Amino acid sequence: MRAVAQRVESAAVRVGDETVGRIDKGVLVYLGAGKRDTERDAAFMADKLATLRIFEDAAGKMALCVSEVSGEVLVVSQFTLYGDVRNGRRPSFGEAAPPELAVRLYEQVCGHLAERGLRVATGRFRAMMRVSAVVDGPVTILIDSEKAF
Protein backbone atom coordinates (compact mmCIF):
# COMPACT_ATOMS: atom_id res chain seq x y z
CA MET A 1 0.00 0.00 0.00
CA ARG A 2 1.05 3.55 -0.58
CA ALA A 3 0.00 6.64 1.29
CA VAL A 4 0.62 10.34 1.20
CA ALA A 5 -0.02 11.73 4.68
CA GLN A 6 -0.35 15.47 5.21
CA ARG A 7 -0.59 17.32 8.49
CA VAL A 8 -3.60 19.60 8.16
CA GLU A 9 -5.44 22.29 10.05
CA SER A 10 -8.59 21.06 8.30
CA ALA A 11 -9.63 19.00 5.31
CA ALA A 12 -12.82 17.99 3.53
CA VAL A 13 -13.90 15.84 0.63
CA ARG A 14 -16.95 16.47 -1.52
CA VAL A 15 -18.79 14.27 -3.99
CA GLY A 16 -20.99 16.47 -6.13
CA ASP A 17 -22.67 18.93 -3.79
CA GLU A 18 -22.32 16.70 -0.71
CA THR A 19 -19.52 16.88 1.85
CA VAL A 20 -18.89 13.21 2.60
CA GLY A 21 -15.92 13.59 4.95
CA ARG A 22 -14.49 16.43 7.01
CA ILE A 23 -11.90 16.84 9.76
CA ASP A 24 -10.37 19.61 11.75
CA LYS A 25 -6.76 19.31 12.93
CA GLY A 26 -5.25 16.00 11.95
CA VAL A 27 -3.96 13.98 9.03
CA LEU A 28 -5.25 13.88 5.46
CA VAL A 29 -4.32 10.52 3.95
CA TYR A 30 -4.39 9.65 0.28
CA LEU A 31 -4.34 5.83 0.28
CA GLY A 32 -3.74 3.46 -2.61
CA ALA A 33 -3.63 -0.33 -2.69
CA GLY A 34 -1.40 -2.41 -4.94
CA LYS A 35 -2.40 -5.67 -6.58
CA ARG A 36 -0.08 -7.70 -4.32
CA ASP A 37 -1.16 -6.03 -1.06
CA THR A 38 -2.66 -8.07 1.76
CA GLU A 39 -4.17 -7.59 5.22
CA ARG A 40 -0.60 -7.40 6.50
CA ASP A 41 -0.05 -4.26 4.41
CA ALA A 42 -3.30 -2.74 5.70
CA ALA A 43 -2.32 -3.40 9.32
CA PHE A 44 1.17 -1.96 8.73
CA MET A 45 -0.26 1.15 7.09
CA ALA A 46 -2.80 1.78 9.85
CA ASP A 47 -0.14 1.36 12.53
CA LYS A 48 2.25 3.70 10.73
CA LEU A 49 -0.42 6.36 10.18
CA ALA A 50 -1.66 6.18 13.78
CA THR A 51 1.81 6.49 15.27
CA LEU A 52 3.48 8.84 12.80
CA ARG A 53 5.09 11.61 14.84
CA ILE A 54 4.45 14.65 12.65
CA PHE A 55 2.95 17.05 15.19
CA GLU A 56 5.06 19.47 17.19
CA ASP A 57 5.54 19.21 20.93
CA ALA A 58 6.07 22.15 23.29
CA ALA A 59 9.72 22.37 22.17
CA GLY A 60 8.72 22.67 18.51
CA LYS A 61 9.95 19.19 17.56
CA MET A 62 7.87 16.73 15.56
CA ALA A 63 7.39 14.27 18.41
CA LEU A 64 3.63 13.75 18.72
CA CYS A 65 1.25 11.50 16.82
CA VAL A 66 -2.31 12.33 15.78
CA SER A 67 -3.95 10.88 18.90
CA GLU A 68 -1.63 12.88 21.18
CA VAL A 69 -2.95 16.14 19.70
CA SER A 70 -6.60 14.98 19.71
CA GLY A 71 -6.46 14.99 15.93
CA GLU A 72 -8.61 13.28 13.33
CA VAL A 73 -7.88 11.35 10.15
CA LEU A 74 -9.46 11.79 6.71
CA VAL A 75 -8.71 8.84 4.42
CA VAL A 76 -9.26 9.29 0.68
CA SER A 77 -8.87 6.35 -1.70
CA GLN A 78 -6.30 7.18 -4.36
CA PHE A 79 -5.44 4.46 -6.89
CA THR A 80 -3.39 7.00 -8.85
CA LEU A 81 -0.61 6.59 -6.27
CA TYR A 82 0.21 3.51 -8.34
CA GLY A 83 0.53 5.51 -11.55
CA ASP A 84 3.73 4.50 -13.34
CA VAL A 85 5.13 7.22 -15.59
CA ARG A 86 8.49 5.68 -16.41
CA ASN A 87 7.43 5.07 -20.02
CA GLY A 88 5.66 7.75 -22.01
CA ARG A 89 3.51 10.53 -20.64
CA ARG A 90 0.31 8.71 -19.75
CA PRO A 91 0.37 6.92 -16.37
CA SER A 92 -0.05 3.17 -16.35
CA PHE A 93 -2.02 1.75 -13.43
CA GLY A 94 -1.13 -1.92 -13.91
CA GLU A 95 0.19 -2.27 -10.35
CA ALA A 96 -2.93 -0.86 -8.69
CA ALA A 97 -5.23 -3.32 -6.94
CA PRO A 98 -8.49 -4.24 -8.62
CA PRO A 99 -11.47 -2.43 -7.04
CA GLU A 100 -12.69 -5.48 -5.06
CA LEU A 101 -9.33 -5.87 -3.30
CA ALA A 102 -8.68 -2.14 -2.99
CA VAL A 103 -11.97 -1.36 -1.24
CA ARG A 104 -11.46 -4.22 1.22
CA LEU A 105 -7.95 -3.05 2.14
CA TYR A 106 -9.05 0.60 2.29
CA GLU A 107 -11.84 -0.32 4.71
CA GLN A 108 -9.43 -2.41 6.79
CA VAL A 109 -7.04 0.54 7.20
CA CYS A 110 -9.94 2.79 8.23
CA GLY A 111 -11.22 0.13 10.64
CA HIS A 112 -7.81 -0.35 12.25
CA LEU A 113 -7.48 3.41 12.75
CA ALA A 114 -10.95 3.61 14.34
CA GLU A 115 -10.11 0.66 16.62
CA ARG A 116 -7.24 2.78 17.97
CA GLY A 117 -9.81 5.36 19.08
CA LEU A 118 -9.19 7.80 16.25
CA ARG A 119 -12.04 9.68 14.62
CA VAL A 120 -11.87 8.61 10.98
CA ALA A 121 -13.65 10.36 8.13
CA THR A 122 -13.54 9.04 4.58
CA GLY A 123 -14.11 9.93 1.01
CA ARG A 124 -16.30 7.74 -1.18
CA PHE A 125 -14.57 4.83 -2.86
CA ARG A 126 -14.53 5.01 -6.70
CA ALA A 127 -16.27 8.41 -6.75
CA MET A 128 -15.06 11.60 -8.39
CA MET A 129 -14.06 13.60 -5.32
CA ARG A 130 -12.99 17.16 -4.66
CA VAL A 131 -10.58 17.39 -1.77
CA SER A 132 -9.76 20.64 0.00
CA ALA A 133 -7.23 21.08 2.76
CA VAL A 134 -5.39 23.65 4.78
CA VAL A 135 -2.02 21.92 4.91
CA ASP A 136 0.00 22.70 8.04
CA GLY A 137 3.72 23.19 7.65
CA PRO A 138 3.56 21.93 4.98
CA VAL A 139 4.32 18.47 6.32
CA THR A 140 3.85 15.72 3.76
CA ILE A 141 5.10 12.13 4.24
CA LEU A 142 5.21 9.25 1.76
CA ILE A 143 4.66 5.74 3.14
CA ASP A 144 5.04 2.53 1.14
CA SER A 145 4.36 -0.81 2.82
CA GLU A 146 6.38 -2.61 0.14
CA LYS A 147 9.51 -1.04 1.63
CA ALA A 148 8.64 -2.32 5.11
CA PHE A 149 8.81 -6.06 4.57
Residues that are catalytic: 78-80
Q: Which of 91, 62, 72 is nearest to 29 (CA)?
A: 72
Give, rounded to a whole angstrom, the gap between the first and last alpha carbons of the chain.
Answer: 12
> If DSSP codes are grouped into helix, strand and coil, which group holds residue 102?
helix
- The percent of the chain in helix, strand and coil, each rounded to the nearest 5, is 30, 40, 30
